[in-house]
Amino acid sequence: MQPDSVELAEAAAVWSGAYVHVPFCARVCPYCDFNVVAGRDDLQHRYESAVLAEIESEPAWRSLDSVAFGGGTPSRIPARSLAAIVLAIRQRFGLVEGAEVSLEANPEDWSEPLAESLIAGGFNRVSFGAQSFDPAVLVGLGRLHDPADIDNGVKSARQAGFGSVSLDLIFGTPGESMASWQRSVERALELEPDHLSLYALTVERGTALSRAIKGGAPAPDEDDQADKYETAQELLAAARYVRYEVSNFARAGHACRYNLLTWAQGEYLGFGPGAHGHRSASRYRNIHRLDAYLEAVEAGTRPEQGRDQLSSWEREQERLILGLRRAAGAVAGCAGEALLESEWGRRLLGAGVLGSFGGRIVVDKPLLGDDVARAVLALAPIDC
Amino acid sequence: MSSPVSIRNFSIIAHIDHGKSTLADRMLERAGAVSEREMRAQVLDTMDLERERGITIKAQAVRLEHKAPDGERFVLNLIDTPGHVDFSYEVSRSLAACEGAVLLVDAAQGVEAQTLANAYLAIEAGLEVIPVINKIDLPAADPERVSEELASILGIDADEVIRVSAKTGEGIDELLNRIVRDVPPPTTDGGDLRALVFDSYYDSYRGVVCYVRVVDGTLAPGDSLLFSATAERHTASEVGFLTPLAVPVARLGPGEVGYLITGVKEIDRIRVGDTISHPGSARIQPLPGYAEPRPMVYSGLFPSDGEDFERLREALEKLRLNDASLVFEPETSRALGFGFRCGFLGLLHMEIVRERLEREYNLDLVATSPSVAYHVTTTDGSSFEIRSPQDLPDRGRIQFLEEPYVRAMIIAPSEYTGTIMELVQARRGTMDHMQYLSPERVELIYNLPLAEVVFDFFDQLKSRTRGYASLDYEPGEYRASDLVKVDVLLNGQSVDAFSAITHQDKAYQYGKQMVERLRRLIPRQLFDVPIQAAIGSRVIARETVKARRKDVIAKCYGGDVSRKRKLLERQKEGKRRMKMVGSVEVPQEAFISALRIDSET
């Protein structure tokens, strides 16, 4: 099925998923604001036990369509730990036929034996943090791999039998030329991945990058990033990759299920420190700090840190905001109709950012999508 | 009631920061009017803002008691005066209630522009001037030089100048004795009541409190009083004097200074400068009043939040209760909504009012560029005054435009003469004359357009003379000038708040500066936004805010949903505070920053 098909987008709303957060990293990348720890690999064993215990104590649920391991760096913990967690999830909840079991991996951690162990452990999708094929850009991003690691990673993943291989690229790093970016995209395409995620480098608060910029280092430039996005989009379209979300591109049949499920407001469980879950109109999150998370689970308590119970109007707004990130757009529904009639919405329609047809709304200029989201949040609550 | 022969009424006049309030405090302390506990620093400056800025805004009168060396007791009424050029009208007001003035000069700074301006006011009012040098305890004090300067200005002997330190108290007794010796006692013709209202303020419990100087006759509670100017009658409910605490008395007699409460609640009904008498008394020869304070600078004040319009009106009305010089009328701006066109005595007055509105009334305001009042003569021969660029008729209908000039007095060390001349020339000023006060200090008199003075002239003067120059000015005549209105257009639509009337030669500079500032201040929008400055239909400067190209969160997965939503919520609130000018979103901050007066000229 085409990644941007309306049927696929809507079907994902009833899928079920699980997210496992693996916080370990060799070092913290300067732009990263995720929940990570570096230099605490000694806790990996306790971590595995805690996640297994957390899965065991979770009440029985439906069979899952997607299991995603994110980080951090999932490839940093032993393959047998990853396999044990997949097994526990399968035993506790069950996996549907053809379920997606995916992990993020750093190219420098990858090897043929690892790939084979992961296939044996039930994984069928891998997403490599390639980021760039320009060694200078990789250094600027604080990455430890070189371009050859990416080539080797993709090849060995294919050989081991991964059915879906994805690459993450970051564009708009200060100092990255257009030629460098174009070359990175071309090099990525030469590897024929099934899926590509292209992320504009974002300056998050509290990161080393943010501090460096405050100290006078060059910041990413909006126009440069827009140019690079457009260039990449052309190259990818020519290579028959379909954009199905702001930053995500795939070939037919390779849209990421966990992603689709998220944007369709589907339900998923979260395991591991800082992991988020979404069930029964409630978004909850686990204890963020690894040590505190471990202590809570080891003490036999639920490691939940907090939850947001959404009102029906908040859910309706969220449905639209998440759905409109997709190329397939979203059913207009109650909030969508209101958006199209609002002054802000009309401005967005007039500027060609927003489009509507057949009861659906789409964002035609994905690079300007946040203003649509803000317009949705600015709507007065409606009793839908 | 004191006998006129034992009364001395005097003011202290000085350039700003020469130590007037500290001297007043010291006198109060020495004359036993204030106990230690009541003695906060500078008791005469009551408002917080005055304290913070170290300037006196409101004139007040305090009674002191002094025993002369021979044992004779005197009542001294000290009438405080403000020290900033914006408030010189209040100085003349206070002087009308006095027979003497202490001319105070900083021993290190020497004679400054307002020293001279105030000295001339006192001499014109026929007061006995007592020259005093303050801060003789300072290491940089040069009392010899300053005495010479004072002597040459006043035409007196240098050894007549008293030297004091208000800080240490040195010389204060000598000064009090000199006041008793030299300031003439008030005179009276022995007739029926005539009293001068020289100030008033609004007290939320007592209503309007008038400061009065009784010239003839007596003023007592229960008296029926006729106010000449308004022809209104009110009954005195209380009279008294301030120590500075209010002390009610049975009556105020000839020569005495004190307060009067009548139960009037609206300050507009009491005119400062008015003469009070008893109705039915044979003669009502009004005392010489003084000119109404005339606003020199106008600016539009608009609430950031349109819903605060009524609160702004109430706040302005309350401020006016104690500040008759503040004038305002409703104004509508397409860009800023509903607000008020306000008239101020000067830029400092404007800043103080704005700060008080924001601080005491918790209002968030946008102020438009300060403007002066122009005289327009149209082709059909009619003439009128405009206080806002929006009121300027089409160019085709204007025969000529006139702008107000001021006579500016600048005193500075002579080495800065060249620098000052350059600055004044750039501001379209012409020299009237110059004279050396001493070999090192020069006085320069210029005729300058007021509009050039209100725009950061004082700051420029200070910075170019390392703070040594001082400035005073008085209103002059209106003169015809080559004036044009510069409009600023956002996406083709004129933004009235940014329009300004400028001299032809400065139009380009103003236009260029505004469009450049706005290009930096206006965020990128969904489309290109041209920013133009134009005179009529002729565009004189142009910039473009390029359309936004990327405004989207790159990653939004399961763990990001709640966080990103909160981020977008905050951004949405920021957008909501923007003003729509046509289809362009303009942040509040852009209005404030673009209109900020700074030295970027």
Which of B546, B552, B557 shows the shortest C-beta gap to A259?
B557
Which residues of chain A have a CB within 8 Å of the CB of B556? 246, 262-263, 322, 325
Of all residues in chain B, the one with the smallest CA distance to A351 is B526
Which of B556, B562, B571 shows the shortest C-beta gap to A374?
B571
- Which pLDDT belongs to residue B597? 57
Question: Looking only at Cα atoms, what is the longest distance across chain B?
Answer: 94
Residues B531-551: what's their mean pLDDT? 96
Residue ranges per structural domain of chain B = 4-182, 194-277, 297-370, 375-481, 515-595
| Pairing label, strands A125-131, A282-286 | unpaired
- In sequence order, the 6+-apart residues with CB closer than 8 A to the CB of A11 are A264
Question: Looking only at Cα atoms, what is the longest distance across chain A?
Answer: 58
Which of A348, A367, A377 shows the shortest C-beta gap to B568?
A377
Residues B186-212: what's their mean pLDDT? 87
B34 has pLDDT over 60 = no
CB A157 within 8 A of CB A104: no
Q: What distance in Å separates the CA atoms of residue B93 and residue B290, rounded to the nearest whole number?
A: 7
Contact assignment for B551 to A368 by CB distance below 8 Å:
yes
Residues B24-30: what's their mean pLDDT? 84
> Chain B residues within 8 A (CB-CB) of chain A?
524, 526-527, 546, 548-559, 561-562, 565, 568-569, 571-572, 575-576, 583
Instruction: List the single best residue of B528, B556, B575 to mutate versus A (max A Cβ within 10 A).
Output: B556
**A153 at B interface, C-beta within 8 A:** no
Q: What distance in Å separates the CA atoms of residue B55 and residue B46, rounded to the nearest whole number?
A: 11
Of all residues in chain B, the one with the smallest CA distance to A268 is B558
Question: Among B221, B195, B237, B271, which Cα is nearest to B9's?
Answer: B195
**A278 at B interface, C-beta within 8 A:** yes
CB B5 within 8 A of CB B25: no
**Considering chain B, what is the average pLDDT of its residues?**
86
Which residues of chain A have a CB within 8 Å of the CB of B527? 351
* Helices vs strands, H then E, count in chain B: 14, 31
**A102 at B interface, C-beta within 8 A:** no
- Which pLDDT belongs to residue A70? 96
The distance from CA B222 to its chain's CA centroid, rounded to whole angstroms, is 36
- B274 falls in which pLDDT band (50, 70, 90)? confident
Which residues of chain A have a CB within 8 Å of the CB of B551? 367-371
Which residues of chain A have a CB within 8 Å of the CB of B576? 378
- B592 falls in which pLDDT band (50, 70, 90)? confident
- Which pLDDT belongs to residue B214? 95
DSSP A358-382: TTEEEES-GGGHHHHHHHHHTSPP-
CB pairs under 8 A between A and B: 104
**A371 at B interface, C-beta within 8 A:** yes
Residue B248 in 3-state DSSP? strand
- Which pLDDT belongs to residue B283? 62
Instruction: List the single best residue of B529, B546, B550, B564 to mutate versus A (max A Cβ within 10 A).
Output: B550
- Which pLDDT belongs to residue B245? 76
Which residues of chain B have a CB within 8 Å of the CB of A318? 561, 565
Superfamily, domain B194-277 = Translation factors (2.40.30.10)
CATH of B297-370, one of 3.40.50.300, 3.30.70.870, 2.60.40.10, 3.90.700.10: 3.30.70.870
Beta strands in chain A (DSSP E): 16-22, 24-25, 37-38, 64-71, 95-105, 125-131, 164-171, 195-200, 242-245, 248-250, 267-271, 276-279, 282-286, 304-309, 330-331, 354-357, 360-363
Of all residues in chain B, the one with the smallest CA distance to A350 is B526
Contact assignment for A268 to B558 by CB distance below 8 Å:
yes
Instruction: List the single best residue of B528, B552, B575 to mutate versus A (max A Cβ within 10 A).
Output: B552
**pLDDT over 70 percentage in chain B:** 91
B433's tokens: 């004359």
- Residue range B161-189, pLDDT digits in tens: 999 998 898 999 999 999 999 999 999 88
- Which pLDDT belongs to residue B154? 83
- B84 falls in which pLDDT band (50, 70, 90)? low
- B244 falls in which pLDDT band (50, 70, 90)? confident
Lowest mean pLDDT among B83-97, B292-306, B378-392: B83-97
Q: Taking each helix axis from N to C terminus, what angle separates B172-182 and B20-30, rounded to the nearest 10 degrees?
A: 90
- B593 falls in which pLDDT band (50, 70, 90)? confident
Residues 18-47 (A) with a CB less than 8 A from some CB of B? 19, 21, 34
B43 has pLDDT over 80 = no
- Residue range A232-272, pLDDT digits in tens: 999 999 999 999 999 999 999 999 999 999 999 999 999 99
Domain B4-182 in CATH 3.30.365.10? The answer is no
Q: Where are the alpha helices (DSSP H) in B309-360?
A: 309-321, 347-360
- Residue range B105-137, pLDDT digits in tens: 999 988 888 888 888 888 888 999 999 999 999
Instruction: List the single best residue of A205, A370, A372, A379 to mutate versus B (max B Cβ within 10 A).
Output: A370
**Domain at B515-595: CATH code:** 3.30.70
Residues 111-150 (A) with a CB less than 8 A from some CB of B? none
B227 has pLDDT over 50 = yes
Q: What distance in Å separates the CA atoms of residue B512 and residue B532, rounded to the nearest whole number?
A: 9
- In sequence order, the 6+-apart residues with CB closer than 8 A to the CB of B234 are B224, B225, B227, B262, B263, B264
Of all residues in chain A, the one with the smallest CA distance to B557 is A262
- Which pLDDT belongs to residue B50? 47
- Which pLDDT belongs to residue B48? 52
Q: Where are the alpha helices (DSSP H) in B364-439?
A: 417-426
- Which pLDDT belongs to residue B467? 80
- Which pLDDT belongs to residue B87? 66
Residue segments in chain A with a per-residue pLDDT below the cut of 70: none
Residues 216-255 (A) with a CB less than 8 A from some CB of B? 222-223, 225-226, 229, 246-247
Which of A200, A226, A351 shows the shortest C-beta gap to B554?
A200
Q: What distance in Å separates the CA atoms of residue A93 and residue B405, rounded to the nearest whole number?
A: 87
B4 has pLDDT over 90 = no
Torsion of CA B271, B274, B277, B280, to 10 degrees: -80
B449 has pLDDT over 70 = yes
Asked if domains B194-277 and B297-370 share a fold, the reply is no
B37 has pLDDT over 60 = no
B295 has pLDDT over 60 = yes
Domain B375-481 in CATH 3.40.50.1100? The answer is no
- B157 falls in which pLDDT band (50, 70, 90)? confident
- Which pLDDT belongs to residue B599? 40
Contact assignment for B558 to A19 by CB distance below 8 Å:
yes
Of all residues in chain A, the one with the smallest CA distance to B566 is A377
